[in-house]
Amino acid sequence: MNALSPQDLIAVIGAGAMGSGIVQVALNAGHRVALYDAAPAALAKGVASIDATYRRLLEKGKIDAATHADRTARLLPAATLADLADAALVIEAIVENLDIKASVLGEVEALLGEHAIIATNTSSLSVTAIGARLKRPAQVAGLHFFNPAPLLPLVEIVSGKATSPEVADTLFATALAWKKTPVRCASTPGFIVNRVARPFYGEALRLLADRAASAATIDAILRDAGGFRMGAFELMDLIGHDVNYAVTKSVYDALYQDPRYKPSLLQKDLVDAGWLGRKSGQGFYPYGENAVRPEPAVAPDAPRPSNIIIEGDLGVAAPLAQLARDAGLEVAVTEAAGRALLWIDGVAVALTDGRSALRRLADGDPAGVVFDLAFDYAGGSAIALAAADLAQSGALQTATGFFQALGKRVLVVEDVPGLVIMRTVAMLANEAADVVQQGVASAGDTDLAMVNGVNYPRGPLAWADLVGAATVQRVLANLAAAYGEDRYRSAPLMLRHALNGRPFHTGEPV
Ligand code: NAI
């Protein structure tokens, strides 16, 4: 598997945000790079932004004068498409429109050598469809960078129906040589990242729509209990609701309105209002100078409990036992097959299994209070709790006191099925399982993509391995029962791992 040589000319079409970033990646790897844009002003702006970046790096001492001179000398602004004729690889990053992309690439294809590779940076169009519009579809592939391209490591190497394996291999090796983290995937809607990430936004939006908690509380749970870099609402505000809503809608439509990807009316309302997030000064949160950021709903201090009994096996939440001992609490353990309860001063508390606490009581289960999944029970700073309407009086306060004694900030949410982290992780892993089942990407590449493309603290399938596929599948089945919706159906591969007990990853988790 050979990477392109640094002697090979790379051509980039489109000098916007993505094109100018991709140019820098190729320049940094030692290539000469021809940059073309249909709008001369856009080309000039792109070249100026690349210059400015390199000047900043020089001023900060990140590169020396010789490197600066060398890189800028290898940037070749192109006045016409004919200037790209000698390129070994053309990367297109123009407007997201199939007809325009096919027409520009058709024009450039006629000028290129027959072994030249044509790559598209499209986020949402079919690489198969773009290839089919050209004369040499075997030479066409997706090379999907993330914004900002010079900084974000992930590159999805997308094979269309007719893309030759050698072309995909060359792009993979080239991306590695460019110090990127490449993953391979098939040309399906959203590729890996933009598809698997949908539930991160979708479940948060649904929780907010169902008034499970405020946006600030849900974000705090995702960050401080879930280990995500940003909460879903602050992230959507950053991305822009117009962009995020359009991606969701495009994936939803491309997958024939599968309810799993259903867009949220809450977000559409923001788009309709022009509340696009940071860039417009208002999204879920207000921005600007005097903006007051709403606070999450943190539970007030509750008394420290004295009597802790663990009944059965707490599974992924097992570290709570040691944490409680470290906090000076006395913890007794009783064996009980099939049970997983924490008794705190006589109050039964359980890790959510996708049922609400009220549902559990109605089912004859003693747990009237449920707690959420956490990225790391030992190290995390927060935990989410919910209590059933019919929980015994003071139960929530008793459970709160326990988690506070362990040094956690307790965030209380309404008694919704699957709480916040558990349902988000279950849905992310379910989506990832379908991606693997359908041959879109391997389990390793899927997790690698989510960790490197959107900064997830742990790959969704590695997380499912930690929680146990059987638990994830039970959560999904309970969500499906609670909502009566196809949205929460288990991926066949999740069900298979739940039954055979094997992990998704057999090697080191990502
Ligand atoms: P942009 O709007 O910043 O830049 C597009 C550039 O293409 C403009 O300079 C425009 O003058 C030029 N252009 C338009 N039509 C052209 C034509 N017929 N011939 C030559 N140049 C033409 O757009 P951006 O954000 O850089 O996106 C470009 C592509 O990258 C799109 O396909 C987009 O889906 C994809 N992408 C965007 C990401 C993002 O976060 N912005 C992330 C990953 C992919």
Known active-site residue 156 = yes
Q: Decide if pLDDT at 510 tops 70.
A: no
Residue nearest to atom 17 of ligand 1 (CA): 38
> If you average pLDDT over residues 211-216, what whole number do you get?
98
> If you average pLDDT over residues 261-268, what whole number do you get?
98
Burial of 317 (0-12, 13-18, 19+ CB in 10 A): buried
Distance 94 CA to ligand 1 centre (A): 3
The domain ranges of the chain are: 10-187, 308-412
> If you average pLDDT over residues 415-431, what whole number do you get?
98
13 contacts 90 by C-beta, under 8 angstroms: yes
Distance 15 CA to ligand 1 centre (A): 7
Query: Rounded to whole angstroms, what are the CA distances from 217 to 223, 302, 475, 509?
Result: 10, 19, 22, 30
Cβ neighbors of 5 (< 8 A, separation 6 or more) are none
pLDDT of residue 506: 85
CATH 3.30.750.190 fits 308-412, yes or no: yes
* Residue among 102, 109, 95, 152 nearest 129 (CA): 102
Residue nearest to atom 1 of ligand 1 (CA): 16
Would the CB of 246 count as within 6 Å of ligand 1? no
Known active-site residue 144 = yes
Q: Decide if pLDDT at 163 tops 90.
A: yes
Query: Rounded to whole angstroms, what are the CA distances from 79 to 17, 19, 34?
Result: 19, 16, 10
Would the CB of 122 count as within 6 Å of ligand 1? yes
* Residue among 157, 155, 175 nearest 2 (CA): 175
Please provide the average confidence, as pLDDT, over all residues in the chain.
97
Q: Which of 20, 31, 121, 156 is catalytic?
A: 156
Q: Which of 28, 194, 430, 490 is catalytic?
A: 194
Distance 121 CA to ligand 1 centre (A): 9
Q: Which of 121, 126, 144, 159 is catalytic?
A: 144
> If you average pLDDT over residues 253-259, what whole number do you get?
96
Would the CB of 366 count as within 6 Å of ligand 1? no
pLDDT of residue 252: 96
Residue with the two structure tokens 């991926």:
491
Joined together, the tokens standing for residue 197 give 């990430």
Would the CB of 15 count as within 6 Å of ligand 1? yes
Taking only the tens place, the pLDDT of each residue in 37-94 is 999 999 999 999 999 999 999 999 999 999 999 999 999 999 999 999 999 999 999 9
Backbone angles phi, psi at 171, to 5 degrees: -65, -40
Angle between helix 469-483 and helix 421-437 axes, rounded to 10 deg: 110
Known active-site residue 107 = no
Instruction: Provide the sign of the torsion angle of the four alpha carbons 99, 144, 426, 440, taken in this order.
Output: positive
Would the CB of 13 count as within 6 Å of ligand 1? yes
| Residue spans of alpha helices (H) in 94-190 | 98-109, 127-132, 165-177
Q: What is the DSSP string of 315-369?
A: GGGTHHHHHHHHTT--EEEE--TT-EEEEETTEEEEE--SS-HHHHHHTT-S--E
Closest ligand 1 atom, CA of 42? 9
Total-model pTM: 0.95
Return the CATH class of domain 10-187.
alpha beta
Q: Decide if pLDDT at 507 tops 80.
A: no
Mutate to test the pocket of ligand 1, among 94, 100, 127 (most ligand atoms within 8 A of CB): 94
Would the CB of 104 count as within 6 Å of ligand 1? yes
Taking only the tens place, the pLDDT of each residue in 334-368 is 999 989 999 999 999 999 999 999 999 999 999 99
Question: Of 5-9, 18-22, 375-379, 503-507, which range is least confident?
Answer: 503-507
pLDDT of residue 508: 57
Would the CB of 147 count as within 6 Å of ligand 1? yes
